[in-house]
Amino acid sequence: MGDKTCLFCNGTGKDRCTACEGKGKVGGFIGIGGKPCPVCEGSGEASCDRCAGTGKEN
Protein backbone atom coordinates (compact mmCIF):
# COMPACT_ATOMS: atom_id res chain seq x y z
CA MET A 1 0.00 0.00 0.00
CA GLY A 2 1.28 3.46 -0.88
CA ASP A 3 3.61 2.20 -3.63
CA LYS A 4 1.09 2.06 -6.47
CA THR A 5 0.36 5.03 -8.71
CA CYS A 6 -2.87 6.84 -7.92
CA LEU A 7 -5.44 5.85 -10.55
CA PHE A 8 -7.37 9.09 -10.27
CA CYS A 9 -4.54 11.51 -11.10
CA ASN A 10 -2.25 9.03 -12.93
CA GLY A 11 0.53 9.75 -10.48
CA THR A 12 0.65 13.51 -11.08
CA GLY A 13 -0.80 14.44 -7.68
CA LYS A 14 -2.94 17.03 -9.48
CA ASP A 15 -6.63 17.07 -10.39
CA ARG A 16 -9.01 19.57 -11.96
CA CYS A 17 -9.85 22.43 -9.61
CA THR A 18 -13.49 22.06 -8.59
CA ALA A 19 -13.87 25.74 -7.67
CA CYS A 20 -13.31 26.95 -11.25
CA GLU A 21 -13.97 23.62 -13.02
CA GLY A 22 -10.42 23.63 -14.39
CA LYS A 23 -10.80 26.99 -16.16
CA GLY A 24 -8.48 28.93 -13.86
CA LYS A 25 -10.91 31.86 -13.67
CA VAL A 26 -14.07 32.65 -11.75
CA GLY A 27 -16.76 35.15 -12.61
CA GLY A 28 -16.96 36.85 -15.95
CA PHE A 29 -19.55 36.32 -18.65
CA ILE A 30 -19.52 33.29 -20.97
CA GLY A 31 -15.79 32.79 -20.50
CA ILE A 32 -14.92 36.46 -21.03
CA GLY A 33 -13.26 38.39 -18.23
CA GLY A 34 -13.28 36.95 -14.76
CA LYS A 35 -10.64 36.87 -12.10
CA PRO A 36 -8.01 34.22 -11.37
CA CYS A 37 -9.46 31.46 -9.21
CA PRO A 38 -8.48 32.04 -5.57
CA VAL A 39 -8.32 28.30 -4.89
CA CYS A 40 -5.91 27.22 -7.67
CA GLU A 41 -4.43 30.70 -8.29
CA GLY A 42 -5.39 30.51 -11.96
CA SER A 43 -3.73 27.19 -12.80
CA GLY A 44 -6.98 25.22 -13.12
CA GLU A 45 -5.41 22.42 -11.09
CA ALA A 46 -5.69 21.41 -7.47
CA SER A 47 -4.13 18.73 -5.32
CA CYS A 48 -5.71 15.31 -5.97
CA ASP A 49 -8.18 14.55 -3.18
CA ARG A 50 -7.75 10.78 -3.51
CA CYS A 51 -3.99 10.68 -2.88
CA ALA A 52 -3.59 14.04 -1.08
CA GLY A 53 -1.26 15.21 -3.85
CA THR A 54 1.28 12.43 -3.39
CA GLY A 55 0.58 10.64 -6.68
CA LYS A 56 0.57 7.33 -4.81
CA GLU A 57 -2.31 5.15 -3.63
CA ASN A 58 -3.22 5.67 0.00
DSSP string of 1-50?
---SBPTTTTTSSEEE-TTTTTSSEESSBTTBS-EE-TTTTTSSEEE-TT
pTM of the predicted model as reported, rounded to 2 decimal places:
0.68
Instruction: Report residue 31's pLDDT band, with 50, 70 and 90 as the boundaries.
Output: low
Instruction: Report residue 57's pLDDT band, with 50, 70 and 90 as the boundaries.
Output: confident
**The pLDDT value given to residue 2:** 54
* Average pLDDT of the residues of the chain: 89
Tell whether the model's pLDDT for residue 1 goes beyond 50: no
